[in-house]
């Protein structure tokens, strides 16, 4: 496998004997190839490459278990895999991702994309009609009252308590994605009299890293003030450059960054400790809760979108605004039941 092919494919993907990416024109050097490979790798984030590798690895194992060729893949094998995954409860978004990864590997290897076959397209259409395409388990938005309940149950006399309270309050007030929250560095936090400006260097909606700025204002109550909570954590963390939120080993505060999974696990555990049902509580519950609570308070859609940085306003409408309007305007309350 050439350096450039390795950069383009998931780590487990085999290489087709025809490797057009690996054929270097006369006059180009290995250094040129390494630079091209670096640029190819940067076309997708590290997290995306990990996801692609996982999807491809599972497809490889399925093909090996069935005794079918993985590359090039047979369209009917893809159909069988998709229907099996759908029957196992996989969402349509997962099935679409499987097709995306299979397409990516085949096109990179200069092979025909089996997901383009008529049979695969018909199967995908039929699965949508059979199982639906709506997300099945949306994160439950947390209300301000629930955030207060969670925060009240945290012992903020300990470093980990101070850190967790800061993560929850800043995450809720800023509406940041969990990846953005754990990627914050001290240099990204700009102090202002009215609160903070958070400089988001790269995000899902800004993959090229142009940069975005999110404001966080002082809270109305001392216990739930996100600015005070972050200031308290920064005092414990210290001023050494690096990530804002770091791991704590026993009572020792390190400078090691948190992974994106830590806020989700922590929030669910804190919510359950506070007596809430943690079944559908994820890190996204803070972001969703911000949007929902703001909508309930009558904040205009454009202001909410400016904070959450949603490029597609239909997401805000369909997931946060319209469900609230449906309950507020339902005629069922006028039936006299």
**Same domain, residue pair 62 and 170:** no
User: pLDDT-derived band of residue 21, with 50, 70 and 90 as boundaries?
Assistant: very low
Distance CA 224, CA 307 (A): 19
Among residues 236, 251, 283, which one ends one of the domains?
283
Distance CA 238, CA 252 (A): 12
Query: What phi, psi does 253 have (nearest 5°)?
Result: -90, 120
Among residues 101, 131, 161, which one ends one of the domains?
131
Average pLDDT of the segment spanning 1-7: 46
**Same domain, residue pair 151 and 258:** yes
- Cα-only R_g, the chain: 24
**Same domain, residue pair 103 and 175:** no
* Token pair listed for 141: 């938005």
Structural contact between residues 289 and 143, judged by C-beta atoms closer than 8 angstroms: yes
**Same domain, residue pair 21 and 149:** no
Distance CA 4, CA 10 (A): 12
**Residue range of the domain that includes 194:** 144-283
**Same domain, residue pair 119 and 243:** no
Please report, for the domain that includes residue 8, its CATH number: 1.10.150.130
How does pLDDT run across 280-302, given as a tens digit for each residue? 898 889 988 898 888 888 888 88
User: pLDDT-derived band of residue 4, with 50, 70 and 90 as boundaries?
Assistant: very low
**Same domain, residue pair 27 and 120:** yes
Amino acid 261: pLDDT: 86
How does pLDDT run across 63-98, given as a tens digit for each residue? 999 999 998 999 999 999 999 998 888 888 889 999
Determine whether 125 is exposed, middle or buried from the number of CB atoms within 10 Å of its CB (0-12, 13-18, 19+): exposed
* Token pair listed for 272: 């359950």
How does pLDDT run across 25-37, given as a tens digit for each residue? 778 887 887 887 7
How does pLDDT run across 136-155, given as a tens digit for each residue? 557 788 999 999 999 999 99
How does pLDDT run across 189-225, given as a tens digit for each residue? 999 999 999 998 876 665 656 678 999 999 999 999 9
**Same domain, residue pair 109 and 167:** no
Secondary structure of the chain in HEC code, one letter for each residue: CCHHHHHHCCCCCCCCCCCHHHCCCCCCCHHHHHHHHHHHHHCCCHHHHHHHHHHHHHHHHHHHHHCCCCCCCCHHHHHHHHHHHHHCCCCHHHHHHHHHHHHHHHHHCCCCCHHHCHHHHHHHHHHHHHHCCCCCCCCCCCCHHHHHHHHHCCCCCCHHHHHHHHHHHHHHHHCCCHHHHHHCEHHHEEEECCEEEEEECCECCECCCCCEEEEEECCCCHHHCHHHHHHHHHHHHCCCCCECCEEEECCEEEEEECCCHHHHHHHHHHHHHCCCCCCCCCCHHHHHHHHHHHHHCCCCHHHHHHHHCCCCHHHHHHHHHHHHHHHHHCHHHHCCC
Q: Which residue has the higher pLDDT, 59 or 109?
A: 59
Please report, for the domain that includes residue 197, its CATH number: 1.10.443.10
Angle at 74 between CA 73 and CA 79, to 5 degrees: 105
Q: Which of 51-55, 108-112, 224-228, 256-260 has the highest mean pLDDT?
A: 224-228
User: pLDDT-derived band of residue 130, with 50, 70 and 90 as boundaries?
Assistant: confident
Amino acid 280: pLDDT: 86
**Same domain, residue pair 183 and 274:** yes
* Token pair listed for 169: 């309050």
**How far does CA 72 lie from the centroid of its chain?**
31
Number of domains, the chain: 2
Distance (Å) of CA 25 to CA 2, 9, 33, 86, 110: 14, 21, 10, 45, 18
Amino acid 124: pLDDT: 92
Q: What is the pTM of this model?
A: 0.65
């Amino acid at each position: 496998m050439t350096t450039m092919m390795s950069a383009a494919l998931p780590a487990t993907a085999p290489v087709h004997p025809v490797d057009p990416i690996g054929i270097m024109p006369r006059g180009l050097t290995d250094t040129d190839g390494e630079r091209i490979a670096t640029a190819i790798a940067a076309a997708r984030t590290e997290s995306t490459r990990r996801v692609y590798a996982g999807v491809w690895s599972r497809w490889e194992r399925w093909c090996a278990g069935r005794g079918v060729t993985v590359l090039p893949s047979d369209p009917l094998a893809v159909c069988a895999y998709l229907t099996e995954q759908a029957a196992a409860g996989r969402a349509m978004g997962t099935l679409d991702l499987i097709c995306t990864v299979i397409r990516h590997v085949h096109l990179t290897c200069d092979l025909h994309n089996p997901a383009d076959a008529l049979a695969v397209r018909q199967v995908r259409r039929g699965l949508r009609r059979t199982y639906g395409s709506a997300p099945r388990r949306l994160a439950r938005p947390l209300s301000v009252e629930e955030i207060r309940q969670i925060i009240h149950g945290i012992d903020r006399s300990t470093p980990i308590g101070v850190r967790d309270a800061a993560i929850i309050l800043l995450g809720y007030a800023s509406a940041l994605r969990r990846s953005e929250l754990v990627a914050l560095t001290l240099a990204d936090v700009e102090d202002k009299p009215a609160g903070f400006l958070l400089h988001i260097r790269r995000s899902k909606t800004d993959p090229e890293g142009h940069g975005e700025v999110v404001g966080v204002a002082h809270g109305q109550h001392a216990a739930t003030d996100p600015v005070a909570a972050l200031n308290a954590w920064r005092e414990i963390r210290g001023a050494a450059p690096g990530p804002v939120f770091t791991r704590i080993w026993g009572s020792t505060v390190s400078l090691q960054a948190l992974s994106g999974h830590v806020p989700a696990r922590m929030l669910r555990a804190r919510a359950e400790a506070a007596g809430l049902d943690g079944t559908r509580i994820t890190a996204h519950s803070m972001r969703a809760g911000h949007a929902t609570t703001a909508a309930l308070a009558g904040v205009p859609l454009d202001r909410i979108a400016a904070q959450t940085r949603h490029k597609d306003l239909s997401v805000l409408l369909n997931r946060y605004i319209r469900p609230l309007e449906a309950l507020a305007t339902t005629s069922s309350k006028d039936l006299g039941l």
